[in-house]
Amino acid sequence: MALYYDLGPLYREYNNDKELVRARLIDFLLDSKKRLKKIKKGIDEKEYAKVEKHIKSLKPSLEFLGVDQAIDEANQIEEWTLDQGKTKEVKEIFKSFQLHVKNARKEIKKDFDL
């Protein structure tokens, strides 16, 4: 049983097609790794638009995978970009967000031998 993700919505979207679900998981693994790095860099450099772009791109995958805690944190980070807040305000939120995404990635890799 998966602890960090829920594939129910993904299987429903793809009519239980295991090949499509697997392809979407591979896309998520590749994309999320790159985006986490870009989000971190954007936060460090206060590039709000860059952070917002990558958060918005990552959120649909997180929603399909049912990574609810990461979605909440993504919303908080997105709010930070709109407010153009201080870096210190978002660092802890990003650490937690990154941990949830990494845990989901790690578990998906293990569960699907990717």
Q: In this predicted model, what pLDDT tens digit does every residue of 2-42 receive, in sequence order?
A: 788 898 888 998 999 999 999 999 999 999 999 999 999 99
Give, in order, the Cα–Cα distances in Å from 89 to each of 30, 51, 54, 76, 79: 28, 14, 19, 10, 11
pLDDT, tens digit, for every residue of 104-113? 999 999 999 8
What are the residue ranges of helices labelled H in the chain? 8-13, 18-44, 48-64, 68-83, 87-112
Distances (CA, A) of 59 to 1, 7, 46, 54, 69: 23, 15, 20, 9, 11
* pLDDT score at 2: 76
Supply the pTM of this predicted model.
0.90
Q: Which structure tokens are listed for 3?
A: 């602890």
What is the predicted pLDDT for the residue at 1? 59
